[in-house]
Amino acid sequence: MNHVIAIGKVSEATGVKVPTIRYYEQIGLLPAPPRTEGNRRTYDRKDADRLTFIRHSRELGFEIDQIRTLLSLQDRPDQSCSEADTIAKARLAEVKDKIASLKALEAELERMVEGCSHGRVETCQVIEILADHGKCKHHLHDA
């Protein structure tokens, strides 16, 4: 209720950097807060909660547009949560994919590093493997 928190304090409390908070306001993800006489933004607890929600969602890899949807769902608690469920499931699938391809990548990098004879480039597996894709067993889709 009492808009009293300065942008720097919200930043500290939520872990979202000051310019990022202003950016979120600009793109309409966070409502423009009231200002002091000296034109400074004043936030309250609700704003901080929203920013925490946003930060956590970003950490989980959701895109801004997905977060927009999730936020709008949060604002209307009577609605079905199937949309939130769908978004989370899609993200989960993405994450599983990414873990799989990162593991392939890890294996290949390990092979590279282990194969490095610490000699000259001529005989270095690192360079060798990068140069010759045929030496790579896996098909990596994206890393």
The residues of the shown chain that bind DNA, judged by CB under 7 A, are 6-9, 11, 17-20, 22-23, 35-41, 58, 63-65
For the bound state, the minimum distance from the C-beta of residue 17 to DNA, rounded and expressed in Å, comes to: 5
| 112 makes contact with its own copies (CB under 8 A) | yes
Give every CB contact of residue 73 below 8 A, 6+ residues apart in sequence: 79, 81, 83, 84
Question: Judged by CB, which is closer to its own copies: 34, or 109?
Answer: 109
78 interacts with its own copies by CB under 8 A: yes
The rounded distance, in Å, linking the Cα atoms of 97 and 104 is: 11
Residues in CB range of 44: below 8 A, 6 or more apart: 1, 2, 3, 4, 5, 33
Pick from 1, 27, 32, 99 the residue near its own copies by CB under 8 A.
Answer: 99
